[in-house]
Amino acid sequence: QVQLVQSGAEVKKPGASVKVSCKASGYTFTSYGINWVRQAPGQGLEWMGWISAYNGYTNYAQKLQGRVTMTTDTSTSTAYMELRSLRFDDTAVYYCAKAHRGSSPPVDYWGQGTLVTVSS
């Protein structure tokens, strides 16, 4: 069965960076892209972007351009999302999700989420 298992919760100071991992299993990793979505406490969902696990092509939301980097390690079927220059409003649960087809949305399997708290 398809599973996406994410790394644990993080607490970071403003200006720091965070890197969240997402280990996939149960399907051919390079056949589908990985999307990242975040959700601030009590708020709605926000697309961050996606990466092709086949060739590493990325597409980031303009709002996060310059601060976010998505990568994959095909040898371990793991995707990573790094967010730099953290701000208080980056506090959110970060989800990775497998594309239903190709690399872009919709997404059909989700990780359990990783809470990133930005606090001084």
Partner 1 sequence: QSALTQPASVSGSPGQSITISCTGTSSDVGGYNYVSWYQQHPGKAPKLMIYDVSNRPSGVSNRFSGSKSGNTASLTISGLQAEDEADYYCSSYTSSSTLEMFGGGTKLTVL
Which residues contact partner 1 by CB under 8 A?
A: 37, 44-47, 49, 59, 61-63, 95, 97, 100, 104-108, 110-113
Q: How far is the CB of 98 from partner 1 (least distance, A)?
A: 10
User: Quick one: 98 or 118, whose CB is closer to partner 1?
Assistant: 98
User: Quick one: 2 or 16, whose CB is closer to partner 1?
Assistant: 2
**Block residue for tokens 């589908």:** 32
Q: CA 9 to CA 116: how far, in whole Å?
A: 6
Cβ atoms 100, 108 nearer than 8 A: yes
Q: How far is the CB of 100 from partner 1 (least distance, A)?
A: 6
> Cβ of 118: how many Cβ atoms within 10 Å?
20
Q: Which class for 10: exposed (0-12), middle (13-18), buried (19 or more C-beta within 10 A)?
A: middle
Q: CA 8 to CA 67: how far, in whole Å?
A: 21
Q: How far is the CB of 84 from partner 1 (least distance, A)?
A: 20
- Stretch (H or E) spanning 23: strand 18-25
User: Quick one: 63 or 87, whose CB is closer to partner 1?
Assistant: 63
Q: How far is the CB of 29 from partner 1 (least distance, A)?
A: 19
User: Quick one: 83 or 97, whose CB is closer to partner 1?
Assistant: 97
